[in-house]
């Protein structure tokens, strides 16, 4: 748990223990120790999560509540060698409550580090009148899609050799009620995987062996929810996503690898299908909808 380690490895400065030692009344001394404990953890969180004061305050409130006074005293007074492990265990035990603080996480700092790209700019211009906005998801109608409809996405991030990857190439091959099934063609030999994904009411599903539809993303239930939305990950743990709609772009931040947040920026057509998707955590990909005549939008 990287976030836990980042906190427990902080050296609780001697100056804090000196301040705590000034109070002689036990109750007053404990209040001072708790204040110092909160200060150090708030500082650590704020450094790692800029412009997220509300999120950091929430996490510090939880830590202050669940950490025993004796452990706080050991940490603040610099006796942290064994206390670090105790605090780490407490954080693991209360991971659900700490995770719930993510509902307060803002995308501001993430967006500053990832300004609008040329590919996104082109998509917003090209599909200006065909972009899904909040409220449009109440009226999904895929009936205009016919068998043979092509759906191609290409990653605009080149590999180390400067080459773009083979695009995701999908073709509508089956319609069953409100479900529209696509076969996917990948690789140089165009190997076909028949009816492996499906779109239904604007949501992408993968097709199980028994034909059942399984949400492609664990947070699919939150796809079109503006604001904070709770969902269950693949292990059944509660997670939170905070979604904003900014000038045609659905902006979300989710749990990434370790303590990292994951920034997702998406533009959808009126069918809820991706026109653009940026996904950034430790790495990054940037998919753009293209047609057969324009498989290198980023090069234009």
Cβ count within 10 A of residue 298? 17
Local confidence band at 248 (pLDDT 50, 70, 90 cut-offs): very high
**Contact status, residue 127 vs residue 275, Cβ threshold 8 Å:** yes
Which of 116-120, 205-209, 255-259, 268-272 has the weakest average pLDDT?
255-259
Which segment, 10-24, 75-89, 111-125, is predicted with the most confidence on average?
Answer: 111-125
Placement of tokens 């659905």 in the chain: 250
In the β-sheet with 213-215, what is the strand arrangement from edge to edge? 213-215, 203-207, 191-200, 179-186, 168-176, 150-155, 284-290, 274-280, 261-268, 249-255, 238-246, 227-232
pLDDT in tens, 20-36: 445 567 888 888 888 88
pTM: 0.70
The H helix count followed by the E strand count for the chain is: 9, 12
Q: How far apart are CA 55 and CA 107, in angstroms?
A: 11
- Determine the straight-line distance between the first and last CA of the chain, rounded to whole angstroms: 43
Question: Burial of 143 by CB count in 10 Å (0-12 exposed, 13-18 middle, 19+ buried)?
Answer: exposed
Q: Give per-residue pLDDT as tens, 259-276.
A: 567 788 999 999 999 999
């Amino acid at each position: 748990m990287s976030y836990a380690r980042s906190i427990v490895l902080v050296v609780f400065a001697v100056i804090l223990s000196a301040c705590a030692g000034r109070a002689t009344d036990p109750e007053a001394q404990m209040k001072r120790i708790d204040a110092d404990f909160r200060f150090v953890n708030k500082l650590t969180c704020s450094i790692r999560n800029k412009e997220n004061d509300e999120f950091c305050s929430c996490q510090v409130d939880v830590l202050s509540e669940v950490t025993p006074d004796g452990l706080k005293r050991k940490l603040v007074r610099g006796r942290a060698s064994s206390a670090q492990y105790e605090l780490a265990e407490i954080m693991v035990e209360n991971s659900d409550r700490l995770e719930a603080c993510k509902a307060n996480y803002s995308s501001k700092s993430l967006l500053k580090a990832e300004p609008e790209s040329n590919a996104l700019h082109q998509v917003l211009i090209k599909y200006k009148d065909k972009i899904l906005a909040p409220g449009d998801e109440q009226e999904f109608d895929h009936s205009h899609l016919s068998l043979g409809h092509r759906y191609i996405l290409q990653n605009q991030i080149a590999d180390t050799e400067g080459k773009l990857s083979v695009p995701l190439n999908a073709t509508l091959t089956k319609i069953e009620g409100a479900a529209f099934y696509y076969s996917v063609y990948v690789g140089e030999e165009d190997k076909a995987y028949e009816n492996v994904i499906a779109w239904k009411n604007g949501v992408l599903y993968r097709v199980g062996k028994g034909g059942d539809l399984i949400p492609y993303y664990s947070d699919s239930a939150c796809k079109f929810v503006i604001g904070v939305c709770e969902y269950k990950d693949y292990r059944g743990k509660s997670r939170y996503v905070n979604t904003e709609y900014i000038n045609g772009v659905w902006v979300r931040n989710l749990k990434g690898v370790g303590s990292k947040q994951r920034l997702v920026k998406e533009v959808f057509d009126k069918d809820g299908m991706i026109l653009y998707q940026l996904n950034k955590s430790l790495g990054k990909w940037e998919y753009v909808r293209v047609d057969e005549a324009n498989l290198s939008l980023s090069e234009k």
